[in-house]
Amino acid sequence: MSDEQRPNGKKLTRREMLYRTGAGGLGLLIGASGVGSIAAIGKTLDKEQEGQIEDQVPFYGKHQAGIATKPQTYMYFISLDLTTKNISEVRDLFKEWTMASEKMAQAKLLGDYSNNPYIPPEDTGEAAGLSASKITFTYGFGPTFFEKEGSDRFGLANRKPNQLRSLPSFPGDEIEKEWSGGDLCVQVCANDQQVAFHAVRNLLRIGRGVVTLKWMQSGFQRTKQAEKKPSTPRNLFGFKDGTVNPSTEEDFNQIVWSNGSEAAWMKNGSYMVMRRIRMLLEVWDRTHLKEQNNTFGREKVSGAPLGQQNEFDEPDFHKKNEKGEPSIPVDSHVKLGRGDGSQKILRRAYSYTSEMDPTRAQLDAGLLFISYQKDPFKQFVPIQKRMAKSDRLNEYIRHIGSAVFACPGGSARGGYIGDQLF
Ligand X SMILES: C=CC1=C(C)c2cc3[nH]c(cc4nc(cc5[nH]c(cc1n2)c(C)c5CCC(=O)O)C(CCC(=O)O)=C4C)c(C)c3C=C
Contact residues for ligand X, defined by CB under 6 A: 235, 237, 239-244, 275, 277, 279, 296, 298, 333-334, 337-338, 345, 366-367, 369, 380, 383-384, 387, 397
R_g of the chain computed on alpha carbons: 23
Of 203 and 345, CB closest to ligand X: 345
- Least distance to ligand X from the beta carbon of 312, Å? 10
* b/e per residue 310-345 (b: at least 16 CB within 10 A): ebeeebebeeeeeeeebbbbebbbbbbbbeeeebbb
C-alpha 371/C-alpha 345 separation (Å) is 6
Length of the chain as a residue count: 422
Nearest Cα to Cα of residue 368 among 215, 142, 228: 215
Helices 38-50 and 26-33, packing angle to 10 deg: 140
Of 298 and 374, which CB lies nearer to ligand X in the complex structure? Answer: 298
Q: What is the rounded distance in angstroms from the CA atom of residue 240 to the CA atom of residue 237? A: 9
| Closest CB 129 distance from ligand X, rounded Å | 37
What's the min distance (Å) between Cβ of 19 and ligand X? 38
Dihedral (C-alpha) 343, 170, 347, 67: value to the nearest 10 degrees?
A: 100
Closest approach, Cβ 237 to ligand X, in A, equals: 5
Gap between the Cα atoms of 287 and 309, Å rounded: 23
Q: Of the two residues 210 and 381, which places its CB atom closer to ligand X in the complex?
A: 381
Give whichever of 25 and 382 is closer to ligand X, judged by the CB atom.
Answer: 382
Output the smallest distance, CB 160 to ligand X, in A: 23
* CA angle at 97 for the pair 92 and 101, rounded to the nearest 5°: 155
Q: Give min distance, CB of 383 to ligand X, in A.
A: 4
3-state helix, strand, coil split of the chain in percent (to 5) is: 30, 20, 50
Q: Give the strand pairing for 136-141 and 184-190.
A: antiparallel
Provide the minimum distance between the beta carbon of 247 and ligand X in the complex, in angstroms, as a whole number: 12
Structure letter (DSSP) for residue 149:
T
Closer to ligand X by Cβ: residue 110 or 328: 328
5 φ, ψ to 5°?
A: -120, 145
DSSP character at residue 175: -
Min dist CB 384 to ligand X, Å, is: 4
Nearer to ligand X, 198 or 240 (CB): 240
- What 3-state class would DSSP assign to 271? strand
153 or 240, CB closer to ligand X?
240
Residue nearest to ligand X (CB): 337
CB of 298 to ligand X, least distance (A): 5
Question: Is the CB of 116 or the CB of 342 nearer to ligand X?
Answer: 342
User: Which residue's CB is nearer to ligand X, number 280 or number 407?
Assistant: 280
